[in-house]
Amino acid sequence: MKAKIKVGIVGGTGYTGGELIRLLLHHPQTELIFATSRNHAGKKISALHTDLIGDTELCFSNEIKEEVDLLFLCLPHRQSRPWLEQHEISLSVKIIDMGNDFRLDGHFGERNFVYGMSEIYKEDIKKANEIANCGCFASGLQYGLLPLAKHQLLTEVFSTGITGSTGAGVTPKPTTHYSWRNNNVSAYKTLTHQHIDEIALNLKQLNQTEVSVHFVPWRGDFPRGIFVSSTLRCDWSLDRLITLFEDFYQTAPFVQISTEPIHMKQVVNTNKCVIQLEKNKDMLVVHTAVDNLLKGASGQAIQNMNLMFGWEETTGLNLKPLAY
C-alpha cells in the first residue's frame, strides 16, 4: 500500500472542521498533520471536539507546521481568498476550499478551483489541484434538479428547505440558542440566500438557459440535516422521471432514488443524498435529503479528495445513518 498523504486543515474548530478531522483520522489513506486555530492553539483537538476523545492526541496549532500534500481551508465565508493572499503555499500542495470564495469564480493567480460536485464534475475533479467545495443548501437543492436541467426541463423552480442549527456555524447567535430554536421554525434570507448564485450558475450550464430559482430556507429545531422540496411544472410521467433520475445517478455511489416517502434520518451522519419524486397532474415535486455537515460539506470534501488522489470514491465514507 502506498504511503499515506499528509493533510492539514486551516480553521479546524467549527462544525465542518470537526467533521473533517473525524473523517480524516479514520481515513485509511490520510495522516492529519495539523489543524490550525487562532483562539485555541495549544489546546487538544479532543478538548474542543469532544467526540474525538481517544482518537487523537493532536493539539491545535496557530500556524502551518510543515508542507502537506493537501490543505483544507475551513475558514468563514469570504476569508479563504484573503488567507491565500497572505500565505505563500506551494503550487504542489492541493487545496480544497470549504468556503464560498471560489464557487463562482475559481481563478486565483496560477490556481484554478473546480466546483466540487462530484456527480457532475467527476472527471474535472480527478485532474484538479484546487476544489471549491459546494455549499450545503446548494447541494441539497441541486441534486433534485440536475437531472431535469440536463434534459432542459427547467424554467422556473420554487423551493423550500429546512436546515439544522449546525448550518449556522459554531458561534452562538440569537437564532441558534436552544431556548429560541427548540420547538420553533422560522424563515430566513427569503429569496436571497447566498447559495442561489452557485445553484443558478450550475443549472444554467446543464439546462443551456437561465433557470429562475425562488428559494425560501427555514431554520429547524434540530442540530443537523437538510430537507428540500422543489416544485415545478413538468409534463413527463412520473415513471419516466424516475427512470431519468436513476439513469443520471447510475454511477453516483451516494445518491439514492426512493419510490417511498423519504425522511431526514435516512441521511444524517452519512454522505448520502436521498431523492423522492411526486406528481399531481403537471406539477412535479422533488424532495431531497442530505446531512448538511457531510454530503453538504465535509463528506463531499472527502469524496472530492478521493477522486483527486485516484482512490475509490467511497473510501472512508461508509458511515451508518442516525436512523433513530
Percent of the chain with pLDDT over 90: 89
Cell numbers that stand for 36 in this block: 490550525
pLDDT in tens, 240-271: 999 999 999 999 999 999 999 999 999 999 99
Percent of the chain with pLDDT over 70: 99
Dihedral sign of CA atoms 137, 138, 139, 141 in order = positive
Q: What angle do CA 295, 64, 9 make, to 5 degrees?
A: 5
The answer on pLDDT for 1 being more than 70 is: no
According to CATH, the superfamily of the domain at 5-133+295-308 is: NAD(P)-binding Rossmann-like Domain (3.40.50.720)
Local structure of 126: helix, strand or coil: helix
Residue 309: per-residue pLDDT: 97
The answer on pLDDT for 62 being more than 70 is: yes
Which residues are the active-site residues?
136
Which position has the higher pLDDT, 321 or 5?
5
Residue 322: per-residue pLDDT: 79
Task: Using alpha carbons, select from 324, 162, 299, 165 the residue that is nearest to residue 227.
Answer: 162
Whose cell is 467533521? That residue is 19
pLDDT in tens, 90-145: 999 999 999 999 999 999 999 999 999 999 999 999 999 999 999 999 999 999 99
Cell numbers that stand for 15 in this block: 462544525
The domain 137-292 is placed in CATH, from the list 3.40.50.10540, 3.40.50.300, 3.30.360.10, 3.40.1180.10, at 3.30.360.10
| Structural domain spans, the chain | 5-133+295-308, 137-292
Task: Using alpha carbons, select from 241, 271, 277, 283 the residue that is nearest to residue 258.
Answer: 277
Cα–Cα distances in angstroms (integers) from residue 302 to residues 43, 63, 163, 249, in the given order: 25, 23, 21, 19
Q: Looking at the chain, how many residues does it have?
A: 324
Q: Which residues pair with 19 in a beta bridge?
A: none
pTM of the complete model: 0.95
Whose cell is 473533517? That residue is 20
Dihedral sign of CA atoms 227, 316, 106, 154 in order = negative
Q: Which residues pair with 215 in a beta bridge?
A: 159
Q: What angle do CA 279, 280, 284 make, to 5 degrees?
A: 40
Cα–Cα distances in angstroms (integers) from residue 318 to residues 23, 110, 129, 272, in the given order: 10, 35, 25, 10
Cα–Cα distances in angstroms (integers) from residue 226 to residues 21, 65, 81, 148, in the given order: 22, 36, 28, 21
pLDDT in tens, 290-303: 999 999 999 999 99
